[in-house]
Structure 1
């Protein structure tokens, strides 16, 4: 969903989250994430690694940005477009 349209009080399904459409919701379900609250204690980088392993595909690193956006949102941060997390992701990976 477009981050500008997200209503924190109406988070019944994964597609109610910022930056999550049908395809990404399916990926989250593959990872065992079935409702938005399941993301609160998640690590975006681990979600990405698990997704790549489960699908046997090296996904675009921007998927990490999407995961970062929804984990942060569920931890209380404002809804932001996924691309606002790109520089933070690159910096974290550079430091590893």
Structure 2
């Protein structure tokens, strides 16, 4: 088991990302993401859509929140719980520009 990282510079394994467990690591591998640095600059909404397309399953919306949290973390923001991003996700998906 890996200790969770406090900053993006401390991280070497996907399991060290905040809010990430075995299921999310498996999802990231499906997206061909095997190293935390591959999350930098990614679009978490596109990642979610790609995951749903690959698995042919509509995943729980909380997966959006986890993806937002790990992308923001790897882009230098402090770690936050995944539910910290729920309101942001809901606002983004309700926006006409996200359609």
Number of the residue aligned with 1:80:
80
Q: CA deviation at 1:11?
A: 1.2
Correspondences of 1:55-74 after superposition (within 5 Å):
55-74=55-74
Q: Separation in 2 of the partners of 1:44 and 1:7?
A: 20
Number of the residue aligned with 1:95:
95
Cα deviations by residue, 1:24-71 (Å, 9 ceiling, x for unpaired):
001001101110000002100000000000000000111000000000
Structure 1 ranges of 4+ moved more than 3 A: none
TM-score by length of 2: 0.89
Decide whether the 8 Å contact of 2:6 with 2:79 is kept in 1.
no
TM-score by length of 1: 0.91
For the aligned residues, what is the CA RMSD? 1.4
Number of the residue aligned with 1:7:
6
Q: CA deviation at 1:86?
A: 0.1
Number of the residue aligned with 1:30:
30
Number of the residue aligned with 1:18:
18
Number of the residue aligned with 1:52:
52
